[in-house]
Amino acid sequence: MTVRVRFAPSPTGYLHIGGARTALYNWLFARKHGGRFILRIEDTDQKRTVRGAIEAIMDGLRWLGLDWDEGPDVGGPYGPYIQSQRAALYREWADWLLAHGHAYKCFCTADELKARRAAQKAARGDQGYDRRCRALTAEEIAAREGLGLSYAVRFKAPLEGATVIPDVIRGDIIVPNAQIADAVLLKSDGLPTYHLANVVDDHFMAISHILRADEWISSAPLHINLYAAFGWDHPIYAHLPLVLNPSGKGKLSKRTQAFDDGGREVLVKVEEFRDAGYLPQALTNFLANVGWAFGDDREQFPIAEAIPRFRLEDVNPAPTRLPYEKLEWLNGQWIQDMTPLELAQAVKPFLDRQGYEIGAEALLAVASSLRVRLKKLTDAADFLKFLWDDGGTAAPAADRLGHAKLPGDAARRGLQAARQYVADAQPFDADTLAAGLTAIGEAHTSTGKAGPFLGVLRLAVTQQDVSPPVFESIVALGRERALARLDTAIALIEE
């Protein structure tokens, strides 16, 4: 068997984090077996389709590094890969089902169905479709068509027995056929529902395995029976575990934006994670762990290393919460693994977006020290505020420019010596500054240790409590701006 799997989002909005997990598992499975990963857009619900959503979904997948082998933009032998462009195929197979007695025409209007549901609800009865049109005779059907009445095509679900859904993750799922509704396959406007389009497309695109969220288990009996009616073999099913809110309370719903869950902001769109400063390799690493484990007690790994280990049989069917605190830890680990140049390149767009102008050389000077301090790329702004804020950042109070082991006069003399050294240092780099300024600190503290002085020096130069190390900060500021900061600190002490 050639493994062919698909990720089939509806373009009704953004790429949801739960959908991204589904796409990732499909991608891993295809890459593990040398198969094909297909992107199919299921846009049969035209009323809810959002302009630009297809491009947004594809952008999100690309950012995550999930490339597809066939799809709307790359083509393939089984296209088109947008369902609205395949309407004739669905009509053909809906007619086939009618002709072979597996479906029937339903002339019930939306208002009639609504009224019947209300009556059923009032009587506390079954609110499903009552199969009223299933028993229409050929003459009754012809009469309604003669009046020009529109109709939907409904599937004739089996009324007795049970349907078995073989599932790689969950084992056999057995559903009594009495629970399977006569679902609409083709709407009165001629467009297919998800059920018909899904089954027809999976067959004609030669899909071998269906890896999808467990919310679709309820649809699986209908789909299994549709395959049987067509006389087609159904793909192998694997329903992925439910994704819960970070608190573990409730399903992570498809909200349109971030929301509060027990005091924690919960992101739901892939683009929200990107904009919040998470790395794509950290997010795929995180999502791979939501229901599956790499093994060897290892939580951080490149997704490429997960490919040979990934097995559907190892996916835990139990609902899994999204531990966002683990994501922050993972993101910090991936940031630490970046080179200074990679980190500088990754951080700069976030600073630019916030309107902070910082040169590439200055950013590169502090990038190495930032690696161990950042959980997210957006955190960089708080550390680096001193680089662009010469007037808005308040200078430290004079009484803070000292230390128990560095009295005021010693602090003043030390800062004066540091100023002279910074003015003359050649080359003007962190190593040169470290050697000279450390020696100055040792000479001006009562214990002969440089730590207290370097802390005062860092506060004088950066004017903030949390910042990169002082030597890199001076280089990033540049000689002239660093000297100006030192002059301000010395004047405060003298006053």
Helix (H) or strand (E) holding 154: strand 152-155
- Residue 203: CB atoms within 10 Å: 17
Give me the residue spans of the domains in the chain: 338-387, 398-492
Element (H, E) at 19: helix 17-32
Supply the CATH classification number for the domain 398-492.
Answer: 1.10.10.350
Render pLDDT for 72-87 as a digit per residue (tens, 0 to 9): 999 999 999 999 999 9
Q: Which of 32, 156, 254, 375 is catalytic?
A: 254
pLDDT above 60 (res 284): yes
3-state DSSP helix/strand/coil percent for the chain, to nearest 5? 50, 10, 40
**pLDDT for 135-181, tens place per residue?**
999 999 999 999 999 999 999 999 999 999 999 999 999 999 999 99
Q: What is the mean pLDDT of residues 385-408?
A: 71
Element (H, E) at 220: helix 220-230
Of 159, 156, 136, the C-alpha closest to 230 is: 156
**Does the active-site annotation cover 269?**
no
Ligand-binding annotation for 254, yes or no, is: yes
User: How much is the mean pLDDT over the chain?
Assistant: 92
The distance between the two most distant Cα atoms of the chain, rounded to a whole number of Å, is 108
278 versus 251: the higher-pLDDT residue is: 278
Could you read off the pLDDT of 300-337 as tens digits, one per residue?
999 999 999 999 999 999 998 888 889 999 999 999 99
Q: What angle do CA 208, 214, 215 make, to 5 degrees?
A: 115
- 83-102 average pLDDT score: 96
Supply the pLDDT for residue 392.
Answer: 47
